Structure 1
Amino acid sequence: MATDEDKKWQIDRWARLFKASRWEELRMIAAQDTEMTDTAKTLYDKNQDEYARNWALAREMFLFEERCRKAREKKALAELEEARKENAELKKETSKTKNEVSKAKDEASKAKSEASKAKKENERLRALLAANGIDPDA
């Protein structure tokens, strides 16, 4: 509560001016006195400067974060492309290895077949030698 002396010096009005929570309230209180009007205008201008600075700062932060996001995205896309190329190379190598394994299996199968034929031929010849009275182990 304001005392009579506070009211005499209009301290209560100045206190209301600085306690105002909205610009409209500030203007209504300041409308009664040119000094208060000047003070209210200065407060408004200073706060608008701060408001503008905050917006500019927020914009700069957004643009910085956007540049960082785009850089991360570009890096991730480059890494993805590199991984795709590596994957394609690995697929080629895998296909080549599968072909080599398949060829080796075919060759092993042929060798096994030839060994089987040679064994049968050997058995036939040994039997022929034995039938003619020749010892095949001599």
Structure 2
Amino acid sequence: MNIKLAISLPVLLMALLVSCEKKYQSPAQYEEDLFAAERQEGKAYIMDEEECFDGSELVLASSEVKLADSSKGRGKPFFLYKVKSAKILKTVRDSTLDMPMMFLSPHKIKLQEDSMYLYLKKLKGYRFIAQDRNLKYQWLRGATAYSVKKK
């Protein structure tokens, strides 16, 4: 009986140790998100009309805006828009603009049926596209397309 006990006791002890869950192997249990209240995944900040106007270098009002080209599916997505004619509401750099003009946007803009405001700033990056298409401006980040309200 001593031999059976000497053999079965270590086997039983090994089976008991293997069957126990090792909590240190599951790090998800010990994770704590310190910035949970500050993180807002999937939510973009959208500026109101005053913030867009103040943050822009060029503000136009136009009803003739069309999507000219896009790079969707060919690397980093961007969209080129063509403005046939527009009224200049604010300018910091240029006092006159040659129409038609083009501008770049990193995301697709929801174009309005009627006249809308275009909030633009100086183009940064995209050097080769800027030379090829004669681009000087890009869409203001965080801005949305607001329609011109008739008062």
TM-score, structure 1 as length reference: 0.30
TM-score, structure 2 as length reference: 0.28
- The higher-RCO structure (CA 8 Å, 6+ apart) is 2
More helix by share: 1
More strand by share: 2
